[in-house]
């Protein structure tokens, strides 16, 4: 199996791949989500993994929609951030820490104890660890996974430095075509656009309630071609698949467009 990941080996996307699939998969490293999407469109990969929390999820939702990708599953990964540098370095030796902006934000409380360390925003956590290792850079540390430390032979100076102990990130498993709906399906990601009638959104949400469907997330994104109009991206959970089918038919009365981005099993 060929799996595209955003980032390099040792990234949290890579960890999700190994846990969701297996370690024998061929991992295709992508710098950006746009590049990752292209690997699916060009059939260079069978699956892709997208971080749906710490990344820019709304533009990514738009890309998933635009390229007709399917969300095949979700995976919640406990995120443990570790401070690492080349062997022999202690925290007193570290002058700069480079990492993804979200990783820095999630560890900011830890660094209050070390005002001499300058925090610098970078890209992929594991890629920074790789660069420090390859160039044998002293005085600079990365925040990354233990897998990254193992792969790139870095020494972990401090473990689990994130502020919130139960720190989870949600990942999407993406595919370039829809598969047959599984019997265990109880969650869906959908997109809809509304007509301009008053109270339409309220009516759509009432349809979910009346069919015993729970919303776990709702976000809106401006439609570039239509000023002041929005697309809504919604995640829903249901116990009975027939209730989901019934709700789909009822919603069509109130929306201009309804699109199913994916049907999968709730993994939370």
Q: Is residue 163 part of a domain?
A: no
**One domain for residues 191 and 254:** yes
Identify the CATH number of the domain in which residue 239 sits. Answer: 3.30.70.260
Same domain, residue pair 56 and 125: no
Residues 6+ apart with CB under 8 A from 132: 84, 85, 86, 140, 141, 142, 152, 154
**Total number of residues shown for the chain:** 268
CATH code assigned at 12? 3.40.190.10
Look at the chain and report how many structural domains it folds into. Answer: 3
Domain boundary among 146, 175, 204: 175
Q: Is residue 104 part of a domain?
A: yes
- Show the domain range for 15: 2-78+168-175
The DSSP bridge pattern shows strands 214-222 and 70-78 to be unpaired
Q: Please check whether residues 146 and 131 belong to one and the same domain.
A: yes
Domain C-terminal end among 150, 175, 200: 175
Same domain for 69 and 87?
A: no
Q: What are phi and psi of 124, to 5 degrees?
A: -75, 135
107 within 8 A of 162, measured Cβ to Cβ: yes
Residue 180, domain member (yes or no): no
Q: Which of 7, 4, 48 is nearest to 130 (CA)?
A: 7
Print pLDDT tens along the chain (268 aa): 899 998 999 999 999 999 998 778 899 999 888 899 899 988 887 777 766 544 446 778 888 888 899 999 999 999 999 999 999 999 999 999 999 998 999 999 999 999 999 999 998 899 999 999 999 999 999 999 999 999 999 999 999 999 988 888 889 999 987 666 555 799 999 999 987 778 899 999 999 999 999 999 998 888 888 877 889 999 999 999 999 999 999 999 999 999 999 999 998 7
Structural domain includes residue 182: no
Same domain, 73 and 34: yes
SS3 64: helix
123 falls within a domain: yes
Contact 29, 49 (CB under 8 A): no
Shared domain check, 144 and 119? yes
Give the pTM.
0.87
In a domain, 26, yes or no: yes
Same domain, 192 and 143: no
**Beta bridge partners of residue 131, listed in sequence order:** none
Query: Is residue 207, in this structure, part of any structural domain at all?
Result: yes
């Amino acid at each position: 199996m060929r799996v595209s990941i955003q980032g390099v080996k040792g990234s949290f996307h890579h960890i999700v791949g190994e846990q969701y699939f297996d370690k024998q998969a061929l991992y295709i490293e992508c710098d950006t989500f746009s590049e990752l999407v292209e690997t699916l469109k060009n059939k260079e990969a069978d699956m892709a993994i997208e971080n749906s929390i710490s990344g820019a999820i709304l533009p990514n939702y738009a890309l998933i929609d635009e390229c007709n990708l399917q969300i095949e599953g979700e995976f919640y990964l406990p995120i443990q951030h570790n401070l690492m540098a080349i062997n022999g370095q202690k925290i007193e030796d570290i002058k700069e820490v480079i990492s993804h902006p979200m990783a820095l934000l999630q560890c900011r409380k830890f660094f209050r104890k070390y005002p001499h360390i300058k925090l610098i925003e970078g890209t992929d956590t594991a890629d920074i660890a790789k660069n420090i290792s390859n160039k044998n850079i002293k005085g600079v540390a990365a925040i990354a996974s233990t897998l990254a430390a193992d792969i790139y032979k870095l020494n972990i100076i401090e473990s689990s430095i994130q502020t919130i102990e139960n720190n989870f990130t949600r990942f999407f498993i993406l595919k370039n075509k829809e598969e047959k709906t599984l019997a265990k399906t109880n969650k869906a990601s959908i997109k809809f656009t509304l007509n301009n009638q008053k109270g339409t959104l309220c009516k759509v949400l009432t349809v979910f309630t009346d069919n015993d469907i729970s919303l776990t997330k709702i976000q809106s994104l401006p439609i570039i071609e239509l000023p002041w109009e929005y697309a809504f991206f919604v995640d829903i959970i249901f116990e009975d698949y027939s209730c989901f089918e019934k709700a789909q038919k009822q919603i069509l009365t109130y929306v201009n467009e309804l699109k199913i981005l994916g049907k999968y099993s709730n993994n939370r």
